[in-house]
Amino acid sequence: MTAAEKTREVLRRLNGRGINVTFEQAETLRRAELALHREETGVPHMYRYPYNSTNIHRTRIADKEAGALRRVTALCKEVGVYFFHQTDPRGCALYVSHEVITANDYSTCGVNCCA
């Protein structure tokens, strides 16, 4: 399945529940879900182990989770919906709904943004 097909699937699910978004907005949500699913909360670092050395070099890298949450917050404010970031790695990481979503009901009232 291509990325465009996955975005169309997310768009179909969102529009089916009355959340009217464009293709570009659905793609933003899907890509943010991918970033949220990969990243862990906190300051990310890359660890390098130089050849023949006992020193470990730690380099700070971009925090993709924070950027994804900023994009989702701005998009949801623009569209007029709420989102929930589910941090359990076993399921979808991002749910969107017209109602406020809590940790107890995110899977029943929210639309998942993963494909």
Provide the number of structural domains found in the chain.
1
Q: Which domain holds residue 38?
A: 3-112
Question: Residue 35: which residues within 8 A CB-CB, separation 6 or more?
Answer: 64, 65, 67, 68
Q: What is the mean pLDDT of the chain?
A: 86
Asked whether the predicted pLDDT for residue 33 surpasses 80, the reply is yes
Rounded to whole angstroms, the Cα distance separating 31 from 115 reads: 10
- 10 Å Cβ neighbour count for 37? 17
pLDDT of residue 45: 67
- Residue 104 confidence (pLDDT): 87
